[in-house]
């Protein structure tokens, strides 16, 4: 039985519409799958970038530690070389307090004290050789013979030593400590003065330059104007222009120096 033409047309249109809907759903599913895959790839890419960034930071940290260690070794080597050039002082230049006390005791021990003879009064007259035995006994007048003064002498046996005076040790110790402080000050003055290189903006050289510059400032001054002067002296190029900009921007030397160091 043949269907009418209009019914055939309606059936064909329904089939076509159903096919289109099915293909549309398939296309949407494909779009969703592709978008999900793209999101996954972006997440993986971000993780890789993060890992790469962390590896770069770790590498920079190791370079910083290496530069600080090399700068420290360089400072110690310069100080050691300069120390080797300082002439050694004679060992007997400053006698120890113990040696001085022993010498004093020996001198007192060997110098024996001898008692002085008692003075004899000259008021007593010598008896006459021709004596009159019939004469009355002689009675001296009062106060005619004065008692001779007796001087008390202190005898020191030769086999004994006088103990040293306790106050002599602190005096010698004070002299010894004063000389030691002077020698240490002279040694510090002879140590090499750290002079950093001129920094022109190279990131690989910054950490070593910063360590040397901080050591120079710490050993010479704590004045902000002087530190700012040193900063301009050991900079060149863009870093120097940046510091000069902060000098013009801030009239306070302390603020200008602090902002410049933060920017560096």
How many domains are there within the chain? 2
Task: Please report whether residue 68 resides in a domain.
Answer: yes
* Lookup: tokens for 13: 């249109």
Residue percentage of the chain with pLDDT more than 70: 58
Task: Please report whether residue 127 resides in a domain.
Answer: no
Q: 3-state DSSP call for residue 111?
A: coil
Range of the domain at 69: 20-78
- pLDDT band, very low/low/confident/very high, at 253 (cuts 50, 70, 90): confident
Q: What is the pLDDT of residues 4-28, one digit of tens each?
A: 555 656 666 777 888 898 999 999 9
215 HSE (CA, 13 A, CB side): 18
- pLDDT band, very low/low/confident/very high, at 41 (cuts 50, 70, 90): very high
- pLDDT band, very low/low/confident/very high, at 64 (cuts 50, 70, 90): very high
Q: Is this prediction's pTM over 0.85?
A: no
Q: What is the pLDDT of residues 67-101, one digit of tens each?
A: 999 999 999 998 888 887 776 555 555 555 555 55
Nearest to 237 by CA among 262, 210, 208, 201: 201
Task: Please report whether residue 33 resides in a domain.
Answer: yes
Measured CA to CA in angstroms, residue 78 lies from 67, 75, 83, 127, 205 at distances of 17, 5, 9, 96, 20
**Of the residues 50, 78, 106, which one is the last residue of a structural domain?**
78
Task: Please report whether residue 154 resides in a domain.
Answer: no
- pLDDT band, very low/low/confident/very high, at 262 (cuts 50, 70, 90): confident
Task: Please report whether residue 141 resides in a domain.
Answer: no
Q: What is the pLDDT of residues 198-239, one digit of tens each?
A: 988 888 889 989 988 898 888 888 888 899 898 999 999 998
User: What pLDDT, on the 0 to 100 scale, is given for residue 92?
Assistant: 53
**Of the residues 78, 110, 125, which one is the last residue of a structural domain?**
78
**Of the residues 30, 53, 78, which one is the last residue of a structural domain?**
78
Task: Please report whether residue 184 resides in a domain.
Answer: no
Task: Please report whether residue 256 resides in a domain.
Answer: yes
Cβ–Cβ contacts within 10 Å for residue 223, how many? 13
Q: For residues 113 and 154, what is the distance between their CA atoms, to the nearest angstrom?
A: 7
Q: 3-state DSSP call for residue 131?
A: coil
Q: What is the pLDDT of residues 113-161, one digit of tens each?
A: 454 555 444 444 444 444 555 555 556 555 544 444 444 444 444 444 4
Q: For residues 264 and 248, what is the distance between their CA atoms, to the nearest angstrom?
A: 17
């Amino acid at each position: 039985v043949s269907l009418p033409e209009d019914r055939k047309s309606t059936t064909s249109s329904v089939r076509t519409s159903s096919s289109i809907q099915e293909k549309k759903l398939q296309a949407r599913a494909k779009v969703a799958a592709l978008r999900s895959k793209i999101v996954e790839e972006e997440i993986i890419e971000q993780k890789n970038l993060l890992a790469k960034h962390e590896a770069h930071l770790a590498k920079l940290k190791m370079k910083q530690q290496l530069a600080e260690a090399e700068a420290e070794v360089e400072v110690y080597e310069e100080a050691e070389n300069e120390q080797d050039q300082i002439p050694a002082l004679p060992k007997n230049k400053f006698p120890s307090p113990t040696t001085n006390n022993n010498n004093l005791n020996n001198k007192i021990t060997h110098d024996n004290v001898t008692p002085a003879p008692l003075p004899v009064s000259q008021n007593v007259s010598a008896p006459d050789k021709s004596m009159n035995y019939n004469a009355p006994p002689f009675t001296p007048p009062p106060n005619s013979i004065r008692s001779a003064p007796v001087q008390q002498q202190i005898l020191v046996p030769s086999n004994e030593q006088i103990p040293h005076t306790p106050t002599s040790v602190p005096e010698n110790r004070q002299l010894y400590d004063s000389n030691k402080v002077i020698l240490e000050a002279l040694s510090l003055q002879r140590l090499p003065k750290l002079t950093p290189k001129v920094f022109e903006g190279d990131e690989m050289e910054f950490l070593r330059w910063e360590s040397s510059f901080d050591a120079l400032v710490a050993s010479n001054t704590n004045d902000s104007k002087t530190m700012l002067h040193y900063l301009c002296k050991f900079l060149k190029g863009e870093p120097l222009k940046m510091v000069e900009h902060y000098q013009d921007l801030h009239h306070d030397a302390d603020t200008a120096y602090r902002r410049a160091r933060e920017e560096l």
